[in-house]
Amino acid sequence: MGKVLLGRYIPGSSLVHRMDSRSKLILSFFFIVIIFLANNWESYLLLFIVTITSILTARVNFSFFIKGVRPLIWLILFTVLLQIFFSSGGTVFWKWGPFTLSYYGIVNGIYVFCRFVLIIFMSTLLTLTTAPLEIADALEKLMMPLKRIKVPVYEISLMLSIALRFVPTLMDETTKIMNAQRSRGVNFGEGNIMQQIKAVVPLLVPLFVSSFNRAEDLATAMEARGYHGGEGRTKYRVHYWEIRDTLGCTFFVVVFIILLFIRQW
Amino acid sequence: MVMGIIFKTVNYTYQPSTPFEQKALKNISVEIPTGSYTAVIGHTGSGKSTFLQHLNGLLRPSSGEIVIGKQIITPETKNKELGELRKHVGIVFQFPEAQLFEETVLKDIAFAPKNFGKNEEEATAIARQMARQVGLKEELLLKSPFELSGGQMRRVAIAGILAMEPEILVLDEPTAGLDPKGRLEMMEMFKELKEKQNLTVILVTHQMDDVANYADNVIVLENGRLIANGSPKKIFAQPKWLIEHHLALPKAGEFAVNFEKKTGYKFETLPLTESDLASQIVKMVHGGVQNG
Ligand SMILES: Nc1ncnc2c1ncn2[C@@H]1O[C@H](COP(=O)(O)OP(=O)(O)OP(=O)(O)O)[C@@H](O)[C@H]1O
Ligand SMILES: [Mg+2]
């Protein structure tokens, strides 16, 4: 299962790696929101510079970001083509039935493409530099205010952490069982629809069985070690808001202000 | 059909060109003779399971070439070309009970033969026979495999592979976690089966006694490299070399070495099995003391 790279944490010690997961999470969301404010060449250029700077600061190989785009390339192309052929305005270069190829269409297409790439790069940066459990921690902390309106924040974050923790285990398990069934003559991903559905049963049944067993074991182990819900628990990973987090936030606020000035109103 | 196995400078890398890259096999060149009982030994993480998965093309080499019978496996070989090979190579994986899924024990054992072209009746007949072979009682056959004990599940899984009637039987620590009696029964069963049907058996094990008792050819892996290949006699001949590579002697050999150290007697050849040890001691006692 080596192909699933999107969202895989790569340990490191760069400035971005060491930032508090809360600030990274907030800044990523913030950035994704302000991407929608960009509407001319200058503003997209600014956002690209910000993204590239962040990636360089994180010292992660650029190829991971390209790989992050690849699985979504068809979705991106489809959306871009829709934009190009169905939005009109400006000089019309070509027309055929409902399709028009116009100046604005092309520009819009390019903008949409940039938007996708920026969003994917930034969210990839978040998941490449932040361990999944830290993201879950950050979500828990950020959701704390919702506790007032009786949202079960601890439970949600526990579920999220456990789910994240077991994704790699489940993928290993899947590979193992697929190998075992292949050796028994199952062909995954071949034949007609009926055959393919039938091939999934020998994979899913063992996966469910082992997941249920594992869940039971985990529950027993947690109870044996005295887990009693989230209230009053202290954390193993303690995070502190440091100067670098303040700096990071300031940087993005400055970017936001510049963006407000150079975008077209 | 004669199915010799030849590895020619095989390399295998997990997740190449990522930071998680892991070279699991390095320049492995080895031949496994048809009809041999080959033991693959080595430390945890030395690449034994990775090696095994090349034997039916579940993994294809990153570079190099593997010849099994008429099939040549290269990095470019397609999955579709390997169906025929998989019919002839049965692999019992580490903890194979994870592969059980059918409603009944009998159906699960019959699963592989059905996939490989046997009809319902033939497959069921083979399944019954194999269940007997691995020591599963008749009354268990119509139960769900998930109601069985761990040891019984292991037997069902093994029977499910034997039912393919493979010519090459590959076993990845098949007795790990079984009780001593079950362990012995299993190992004896494999031996009997091998002799009756002239199988090629490839066994991964951490039990040096199993190597001494059953194997006639040993492959030693360390860190993905082949560091020795030969008969058990040859491999176990140098206790010092074994210790350097974190391997052990079989119990009988261990006993003999200590015996020599404490008493000063010398064995003609280092005994590796209990019966060999016993007969050499008997000879010693009757033949008088050679060395005081
Ligand atoms: N799916 C995988 N992805 C990445 N690395 C792997 C994978 N499977 C095994 N490895 C690595 O390859 C090396 C060889 O593993 P392998 O499972 O072949 O060892 P082994 O000799 O069978 O060990 P054991 O005696 O514990 O079963 C190990 O370092 C392991 O971490
Ligand atoms: Mg192994």
Q: With CB atoms and an 8 Å threshold, state whether A183 touches B111.
A: no
Residues 6+ apart with CB under 8 A from A106: A84
Q: Which pLDDT score is estimated for B289?
A: 53
- The tens digit of pLDDT for each residue in A23-41 reads 999 999 999 999 999 988 8
Q: With CB atoms and an 8 Å threshold, state whether A184 touches B96.
A: no
Q: With CB atoms and an 8 Å threshold, state whether B100 touches A206.
A: yes
HSE at residue A12, side-chain half, CA atoms within 13 A, is: 22
Angle between helices B120-133 and B105-115 (to 10 degrees): 120
HSE at residue B159, side-chain half, CA atoms within 13 A, is: 30
- The tens digit of pLDDT for each residue in A5-25 reads 445 788 888 989 999 999 999
Local structure of A8: helix, strand or coil = coil
Q: Which pLDDT score is estimated for B288?
A: 58
* Domain count across chain A: 2
Task: List CB-based neighbours of ion ligand 2 within 5 Å.
Answer: B 49
Domain annotation covers residue A257: yes
Domain annotation covers residue A137: no
Say if residue A108 is in the same domain as residue A209: no
More confident residue, A87 or B38: B38
Q: Which pLDDT score is estimated for A160?
A: 85
Closest ligand 1 atom, CA of B47?
A: 18
Say if residue A123 is in the same domain as residue A253: yes
Q: Which helix (H) or strand (E) holds A179?
A: helix A153-183
Say if residue A125 is in the same domain as residue A244: yes
Say if residue A102 is in the same domain as residue A172: no
Say if residue A30 is in the same domain as residue A121: yes
- CB contacts under 8 A, B 141-160 vs A, are 146, 160
Q: Which pLDDT score is estimated for A66?
A: 85
Domain annotation covers residue A247: yes
Say if residue A85 is in the same domain as residue A155: no
Question: Above 60 in pLDDT, residue A1?
Answer: no
Say if residue A40 is in the same domain as residue A117: yes
Domain annotation covers residue A167: yes
Residue in chain B lying closest to A67 (CA): B18
Say if residue A101 is in the same domain as residue A173: no
Contact B154, B162 (CB under 8 A): no
Say if residue A84 is in the same domain as residue A204: no
Beta B168-172 vs B200-204: how paired, if at all?
A: parallel
- The tens digit of pLDDT for each residue in A201-214 reads 999 999 999 999 99
Burial of residue A155, with CB atoms counted within 10 A of its CB: 0-12 exposed, 13-18 middle, 19 or more buried: exposed
Mean pLDDT of A170-184: 93
As given in the structure block, the two tokens for residue A197 are: 């559905």
| Pocket flag, ligand 1, residue B53 (CB < 6 Å) | no
Domain annotation covers residue A135: no
ipTM of this complex prediction, to 2 decimal places: 0.88
Q: With CB atoms and an 8 Å threshold, state whether B161 touches A10.
A: no
In this structure, what DSSP letter does residue A233 have? P
Domain annotation covers residue A229: no
- The tens digit of pLDDT for each residue in B7-50 reads 999 999 998 877 788 999 999 999 999 999 999 999 999 999 99
Place of tokens 């790439």: A117
Longest CA pairwise span in chain B (Å): 69
Most informative mutation of B15, B40, B46, B205 for ligand 1 (most atoms within 8 A of CB): B46
Residue in chain B lying closest to A205 (CA): B101
- Which residues in chain B show pLDDT less than 50? 292
Q: Which pLDDT score is estimated for A2?
A: 43
Residue ID of nearest Cα to ligand 1 atom 2: B14
- The tens digit of pLDDT for each residue in A107-147 reads 889 999 999 999 999 999 998 899 888 888 888 888 888 88
Domain annotation covers residue A202: yes
Most informative mutation of B20, B28, B40, B49 for ligand 1 (most atoms within 8 A of CB): B49
Say if residue A80 is in the same domain as residue A29: yes
Say if residue A126 is in the same domain as residue A151: no
Q: Which domain holds residue A181?
A: 144-224
Domain annotation covers residue A21: yes
Amino acid at position A79, single letter:
T
Residue in chain B lying closest to A211 (CA): B98
Say if residue A83 is in the same domain as residue A124: yes
